[in-house]
Amino acid sequence: MMIAYRLITEDDTSEFCHRVTEALAKGWALQGDPQYAFDASRGVMRCAQAVTKTTNTTYSRELKLGQL
């Protein structure tokens, strides 16, 4: 048994919400509050949300976390 961790990041658009919602629909759980920061080089707000999922998968660096 392992707990997988992902940090979903995206510009502050509906795409960020869709990515987080997709993770939740696939059994991932929110961890903490979403975070926001201004990317001065691009002039946009960026969002981040940590998510975790308990799985029977064995850890490997080649593991594609988004596919769990």
Domains of the chain with bracketed CATH: 2-59 (3.30.70)
Q: Could you tell me how many residues make up the chain?
A: 68
For 37-64, write each residue's pLDDT tens digit. Answer: 999 999 999 999 999 999 999 999 999 9
Q: Which secondary-structure segment (H or E) carries 16?
A: helix 14-25
Average pLDDT over residues 17-38: 97
Say how many CA atoms lie within 13 Å of 58 toward its Cβ.
0
In the predicted model, what is the mean pLDDT of the chain?
95
Q: How far is residue 53's CA from residue 22's CA, in Å, rounded to a whole number?
A: 13
Has residue 66 got a pLDDT over 90? no
Are the C-beta atoms of residues 2 and 20 closer than 8 Å to each other? no
